[in-house]
Amino acid sequence: MSNYWPWWAGAAGLALVTINYTLTTDRTLGVSSAWDRVLHWRSERRLERMNAQFDDKELAEALAAATAEEFGTQPDGTARTGGTHTLVEDPELPEPASTAASRPAPLVTQAAMLLSILAGGWIAAVTSGRFEVQSDMGEGFSKIVTADPTTMIIVLFVGGILVGFGTRLAGGCSSGHGLSGCGRLRPVSLLATAVFFGTAVAVSFLLWKVI
């Protein structure tokens, strides 16, 4: 008898988390970026204090004035002509971005998300009766990879480095691309997620069927 949640309950839970995080912070959900910011919390706090000293409206006006002076156009797609603005009908011009929305989410929300992941996993394990403290990766890992503790630590360490490198190279992890990016139909996220899971399927096949 399995004590795991049904697949549809897990999918609904992930969807609710992603939607709630997006509505609450107006940012894309990403675990790897949250870890990066929390680990560098000193510099992140310093940046937050610096950003707090600037008024968003004044900063946007300053950027608009600098853009008009340099290029003769405003960020909203209007051309500067004799002190007046004339609308430029150019469909290729991007939508003006909000200065506040372009800033990273508050550091406290990133830390709260990471703590919630740990707390949620612990609660799920305890309530299902599957919680236990162990020093290895389980019987399945020992059978497939190695049963030697030293080798296991080395394998996990190298694997963690490769995951971090891949996450940085892809500009996000499976949560950022797979949950938020695919939910927003971003092409780069669709491609990255296809590579993530395609590689996982191929490696799993090799481990179980070949090795």
Distance CA 77, CA 71 (A): 11
Average pLDDT, the chain: 76
Which pLDDT does position 144 carry in this prediction? 66
Distance CA 121, CA 170 (A): 26
- In this structure, the number of other CB atoms found within 10 A of the CB of residue 21 comes to 20
- Of the pLDDT bands very low, low, confident and very high (cuts 50, 70, 90), residue 95 is very low
User: Would you put residue 30 in left (φ > 0), alpha (ψ -120 to 50) or beta?
Assistant: beta
Which pLDDT does position 102 carry in this prediction? 56
Whether 196 has a pLDDT exceeding 80, the answer reads yes
Model confidence over 164-180: pLDDT tens digits? 888 888 888 887 888 88
- What's the pTM value of the predicted model, to 2 decimals? 0.60
- Of the pLDDT bands very low, low, confident and very high (cuts 50, 70, 90), residue 56 is low
Strand duo 84-87 + 78-81: pairing: antiparallel
Which pLDDT does position 146 carry in this prediction? 67
String of DSSP letters for the chain: ---SPPHHHHHHHHHHHHHHHHHHHSS---HHHHHHHHHTHHHHHHHHHHHHTS-HHHHHHHHHHHHHHHHSB-TTSEEEETTEEEE---TTSPPPPPTTTTSPPPHHHHHHHHHHHHHHHHHHHHHTT-----SSS-HHHHHHT---HHHHHHHHHHHHHHHHHHHHHHTS-IIIIIIIIHHTT-HHHHHHHHHHHHHHHHHHHIIIII-
Measured between alpha carbons, how far apart are the two ends of the chain, in Å? Answer: 29
